[in-house]
Structure 1
Amino acid sequence: MSFFTNKTDVTSILKTFSGVKRHQTNVVSINKVRFSTPKEKGLAESVRVALEDRNFHLVKEFTYFIREAELSDVEVVLIMKDAKRIVHNLTPEFVTVVEALLSLNWRKRSSEIIEAYTEFCIELMVAHNRYLPIGVSKLIVHWIPGDLDESEWVNGGPSENTRNGLKPIHKVLDRILTAVPMAFDIIIDAISAKFPYFKKPCHVTAGYLYNVLWLLEYKPIFEELVFQLVLQKLLLLDVNAPKDEIELEINDQEDKVESDTLFKIDDVFVENLTKSGKSVSHPVGKTLDVCLLLLYEFFDGKCRINENSGDQQRRTANRLFKMLLYLFDEVLLPSHNTHHVQFIIFYVTSLRSVYSEAFLDSLWLKVQNPNASAVIRHAAVGYMASFLSRAIFLSHSTVIFYLKELTKWAHTYIDDSDAYKHNCSLKANLVFYSVCQAVFYLIAFRAKDLTASSKDLLFLQSLQLSRLAMCHLNPLRYCLAPVATAFAGVTRTYQLAYCHTVLERNARRKLATVYGHEKCMPDETLESFFPFDPYVLKLSKKYIEANYMVYQSNDTDEWVYGSIKYDHSRKRGDSEMLEEDEFLIADKRQKNFELSKSQELDKQFPFGSSPGFYE
């Protein structure tokens, strides 16, 4: 039996395509209007059309393309080489596409991309100065670490990978500065404009400063302008990191360590906790601490001279010190109520005795200069007193010399002012009272050194301290109470002067002023500034503490008002000192002392900053 199937007339969905129809379709496709992609046109063709036909449509499309597309390494290299080939045609009217080219991601790409970008950037800066601000800004912005890159920056220093990533940027800048001298001013402006906001995380500001100092390694011509900018920025950090806030946090941390280790008797364990290498917890204070650490390391490497140092090293060190001394006059000396930035000059002067002598000589010239403002002379006296008292590296003869010069100047002032006994106001005699307080401060602080031998005592007797303290201008009236108290104790012990009667009379006068007018007159106390009071930043402190003299109290710090013991109990915030640097004998646990009314009023109306003798 056979079966048959009939062929059904079913049309297939796969239509046959004759040769004629295929030809007609090709003709239609060829005649259609098609738009080439920016990638196909390329930069050179886009710029040619813009120059010849004044049609910038292709240039705009190419700009959008390189901004938004994810370009491969091969594509980036081709674009950079193309751009370099037509660099002379990239006039200022092509600023948009040029900015897009300079913004390409090139840092963490292949070495071929880095080289192509570098060559294009150099050629562009040389051919068109108009693009210098854009190109320099695009490079320097890479100096700023990301907010999340903290792990890559430890105490202001980058990791090895991060440093390797920064090397090409500095190489490009170096070549630009060599090829285009007019780029110097533009780079300074860019560094200033890109400096991070002072409340940025510590690693951001410190990382940026690291790159700024790196610039000085290959272009030292920037030193003065860069350090002037850096000091101004650090002063902003300093005034926004009050010392009392940092001390409060340090004390809280120490109390926490003591409570956490209550049952641990191992002293080494506690010491390791307190010296763990961490900075202070205050956010702005931490940034200041790390930035100062970077500056100390920089000056230590440049200004430290030893037997193996050559002439070039000595010239570099001397140049940097002269520059720093000039910037001290311009930036640091006029600044008020700073706590840590000025220690840069303290550290650098500790490296060579000739530097400390030049620093003191510069200050003393300002004090004697009648043409300088009284405020600057007053600040210079404060620096002299604090530096002479705190610097261990100063010779005894240097302290003796300036103590003699200060008292000699004060006695001359007293002789010249006899005809004006009626004018004893603080404002009219600001420099005189500043010099007197400096003398009292220095004698009280260096009492052990200045009374160590009979020769030293004879020298103190020759200063006529009794005449100075009891003259008609009454300098003890305006001195800070701790300074006057300590000075009175030292001079009474060694029979150099007897100041307690004057202090009692001044206290009664001040008491009457307060009760008579229901307020304390603002000119009753000299507004004092002792710039080298104790250093509380943890990381950078290691560069200071080896050369820093901590005050050690002695029995001459106490004296008696009749039958009442005159002493100072400390309140937090009244002083700028730590407990181990107390001027007057004070109880750490804040015991209650019986104070006279005048002393209570001194506590209620504190004028001036701490003299640095007590916490």
Structure 2
Amino acid sequence: MGVQLAEGHQVETEDVNFTDLEVSYHVRDALKSASLGQSDSYHDLLGVLHHTERLTPDEVAMLVTSLKALSGAVSYIDSDHHQMLLSSISGMSLWNYGPDVMDVLVELVVALAAVSGKYLHLCLDMLVRNFVPPLSFLRLLQQPRGLAKKEQVLCRVHAALKEIADLVPLAPLRLEKVIKERMPHKSSKQPWILSVMYVENMLRLDGGAMGDLVGRTMLVEVMNRIVELDVEIGWDELIADDSNKGMFEMELEEQEMSSEAEISKEKISRDSSIQKTLSGNEVAEHLDLLMVFIFEHLKTCHASGRLDQVFEVLLLSFQSTVLHAYKSKFSQFVMFYACSLDPVNYGERFANMLLDIYKNSMYVLEWRMGAVSYLASYLSRANFMSASFVVSVLESLVDWCFTYCKGHNGETNPKAHRVFYSGIQAIMYILCFRMRSVLGVPRIESQLSLLPIQAILKHSLNPLKVCLPSIVHEFLQQARAAQLFSVSEDFHLYGVLESEVSADFGGLERLDMFFPFDPYLLQNSDRFIRPNFIFWSMVRTTYEDDDEDEDEDGDQSEGSTDEDIENDSRDDDRIAMSFEDDLAIDEFDNSLNKMSITPKNYNGAQLQGYKQMPSRIRPSASPVSL
């Protein structure tokens, strides 16, 4: 049956034929009659709108014509007399109809929003609710036709929102409010995939024609949701749910292994257990997919030249939420990835912001300590930050700490001088990762050797007795091997056994022990972070033997000469270390065993004889050692 929808043609339904013009007059009369208390034709109209399941071609034609007629009669719609009609329109889901019905329904919603400000919220709310499909549609999204349907719906929704914004100046502000109100709650019983789709649409608004109008709010709200999910993932709960609790241990106790093969076997077992635990955690899987979306969004913004304005929002969002989120595990990596897209403009700016917060006494102590922990972890892990910039930050940190020492000659007091101790710990932590790389560049080596690090460490505030012994030990071991300054036996003992003041300063579950950019453990989104990340196994310490490194790790290619390698190390602008850019995703399993977790039965005496960076501050051991 051929149904023509053009003006003047007939619409056939059962035994009755109507022209479009006749339907239009009928709709207007129905609206008028409802205002006069005569409701028969009005209820007939409502019946057409309510009929959604298995529409015949005739019924589709009638629905299309009725919606089209309503678009031309929006001035007759009155909220006092046509509340049921307005409710029917707002309850219609684009997902239930084909393209013809979707087009006229969107046309009606836009016309209704433009004709009167009192219908604006209703229309925006209706469109925002179409960000996600009805529950019955979720399974179809796994099929190609479901994805095609999704694009059909969302392209119309976003086009309608832009058209309304052009017609009604207040629409963007109202839209922000509606989106906040409709955002699925993290504790909602609805499938979490709906929340992911909702966030996908928020990012689509930021990246589309509405970006200049509502993009800032969308990004802030997305980051808030990511932080909410992040802090909801409790490691204690994961530990309790897993029978193999040993995988979370810091490995601070002396372990006697009969062979490296046994060590490797144990690591693989721990890695698999951690991945299995995270994979079974619904919140972690939810967050993982959100991180994929925002990483892809940032990548697109960078390609289109929009990352400047996006980065401004991310930077402010980081300061207001992420920086103060207690031991967030993943949300900070949004900044990490954004910085990796442009290390000079964004990477250095992020680091300088953290440095400024730490040095500024206007900020509360917890913020300053958190900022320097972020700074230390960031500069240690980001392989895109140059050695020269790292040393410039170290110079600034050392200068601040040296000035602090000159103004404080008291005895060791972890609580009174915790900002100072946090700064010293950050300096040592960065050098644990970067010492060999920065000493490989003569100009930078001379800068580092001139810093008054030894004077600070020997000050009466005794930072070596207060900072985490594992960091102190590794730092002094590398400093001695590099002959950075004189490391006496008394110095070295500070890194072996935790003192009471160190326990008081570090303590269990304290921010002082927090290094935020520890290995990233979300499997799907890991591919964005891994190529830019420094794992501890990649670090060449100053006490390692070059020949053994080349034999075991294959760092030196067959055709390379010692002269070639030395020339490479003298490039001031080279990245601090060389890393594989395309580490395979399937290696993820082998990188989870050294999570930043402090067990409840932590005992400082276990540090005796320890010769490596602990998992508390050590990244996951990568399968590739460079």
Does the alignment reach a TM-score above 0.5?
yes
Gaps of at least 5 residues in structure 2 are 1-22, 248-271, 545-587, 596-600, 609-613, 622-626
Residue in 2 aligned with 1:207?
197
Residue in 2 aligned with 1:160?
148
Aligned residues of 1:479 and 1:526 also touching (Cα < 8 A): no
CA distance in 2, matches of 1:601, 1:548: 27
Displacement of 1:207 in angstroms is: 1.9
1:230-245 equivalence runs, <5 A: 230-242=222-234
Gap change, CA 1:597 and 1:471, over 3 Å in 2: same
Displacement of 1:544 in angstroms is: 1.0
CA distance in 1, matches of 2:463, 2:105: 69
TM-score normalised by structure 2 residue count: 0.70
CA distance in 1, matches of 2:240, 2:498: 35
Residue in 2 aligned with 1:48?
32
Aligned residues of 2:131 and 2:198 also touching (Cα < 8 A): yes
Identify the match of residue 68 of structure 2 among 81, 85, 90.
81
Residue in 1 aligned with 2:387?
396
- 1:58-91 CA-to-partner distances (Å, cap 9, x unmatched) read 5984586457555721332343234233311323
Residue in 2 aligned with 1:317?
307
Displacement of 1:381 in angstroms is: 0.8
Aligned residues of 1:557 and 1:583 also touching (Cα < 8 A): no
Residue in 1 aligned with 2:111?
123
More displaced, 449-458 or 225-234?
Answer: 449-458
Residue in 2 aligned with 1:538?
523
Q: What one-letter code is carried by the residue in structure 1 that aligns with 2:487?
A: Y
- 1:41-65 CA-to-partner distances (Å, cap 9, x unmatched) read 96533432343x4x37559845864
1:289-304 equivalence runs, <5 A: 289-304=288-303
Query: Highest CA radius of gyration, 1 or 2?
Result: 1
Residue in 1 aligned with 2:618?
612
CA distance in 2, matches of 1:539, 1:249: 22
Residue in 1 aligned with 2:85?
97
Displacement of 1:118 in angstroms is: 2.2
More displaced, 494-503 or 325-334?
Answer: 494-503
Displacement of 1:614 in angstroms is: 6.8
Residue in 1 aligned with 2:285?
286
Q: What one-letter code is carried by the residue in structure 2 that aligns with 1:288?
A: L
Q: Say whether 1:327 aligns with 2:317.
A: yes
Could you say which structure has the greater relative contact order, defined with CA pairs below 8 angstroms and 6 or more residues apart? 2
- SS of the residue aligned with 1:92? coil
Q: What one-letter code is carried by the residue in structure 2 that aligns with 1:224?
A: R
CA distance in 2, matches of 1:155, 1:376: 48
CA distance in 2, matches of 1:185, 1:156: 35
CA distance in 1, matches of 2:427, 2:477: 14
Displacement of 1:428 in angstroms is: 2.8
CA distance in 1, matches of 2:236, 2:137: 30
CA distance in 2, matches of 1:129, 1:139: 16
1:420-431 equivalence runs, <5 A: 421=410, 424-431=412-419
CA distance in 1, matches of 2:281, 2:40: 54
Identify the match of residue 599 of structure 1 among 596, 599, 605.
605
- 1:153-202 CA-to-partner distances (Å, cap 9, x unmatched) read 56999723321233222222221122112111221122222222336544
Residue in 1 aligned with 2:329?
339
CA distance in 1, matches of 2:218, 2:111: 27
Gap change, CA 1:148 and 1:539, over 3 Å in 2: farther
Q: What one-letter code is carried by the residue in structure 1 that aligns with 2:616?
A: S
- The 4+ residue runs of structure 1 with deviation greater than 6 A are 154-158, 244-252, 505-509, 553-558, 581-584
Q: Say whether 1:174 aligns with 2:162.
A: yes
Aligned residues of 1:63 and 1:96 also touching (Cα < 8 A): no
TM-score normalised by structure 1 residue count: 0.71
- SS of the residue aligned with 1:371? coil
| Structure 1 vs Structure 2 CA RMSD | 4.3
1:260-271 equivalence runs, <5 A: none
Q: What one-letter code is carried by the residue in structure 1 that aligns with 2:408?
A: S
Aligned residues of 2:467 and 2:506 also touching (Cα < 8 A): no
- 1:183-226 CA-to-partner distances (Å, cap 9, x unmatched) read 11221122222222336544322222222222221211222100
Residue in 1 aligned with 2:210?
219
Q: What one-letter code is carried by the residue in structure 1 that aligns with 2:384?
A: F
Identify the match of residue 357 of structure 1 among 348, 353, 357.
348
Gap change, CA 1:578 and 1:79, over 3 Å in 2: closer
CA distance in 1, matches of 2:349, 2:144: 31
CA distance in 2, matches of 1:334, 1:231: 13
CA distance in 2, matches of 1:131, 1:448: 66
Q: Say whether 1:369 aligns with 2:375.
A: no
Q: What one-letter code is carried by the residue in structure 1 that aligns with 2:477?
A: G
Displacement of 1:235 in angstroms is: 0.8
Gap change, CA 1:246 and 1:462, over 3 Å in 2: farther
Residue in 1 aligned with 2:487?
498
More displaced, 497-506 or 427-436?
Answer: 497-506
Aligned residues of 1:145 and 1:207 also touching (Cα < 8 A): no
Displacement of 1:324 in angstroms is: 2.1
Residue in 2 aligned with 1:529?
514
Aligned residues of 1:382 and 1:438 also touching (Cα < 8 A): yes
- 1:394-451 CA-to-partner distances (Å, cap 9, x unmatched) read 1111011111111111000110123xx15x5334323211111100101112132134
Gap change, CA 1:282 and 1:148, over 3 Å in 2: farther
1:416-455 equivalence runs, <5 A: 416-418=407-409, 421=410, 424-452=412-440
CA distance in 2, matches of 1:405, 1:56: 81
Gaps of at least 5 residues in structure 1 are 1-38, 256-272, 305-312, 515-519, 559-576, 585-594, 603-607
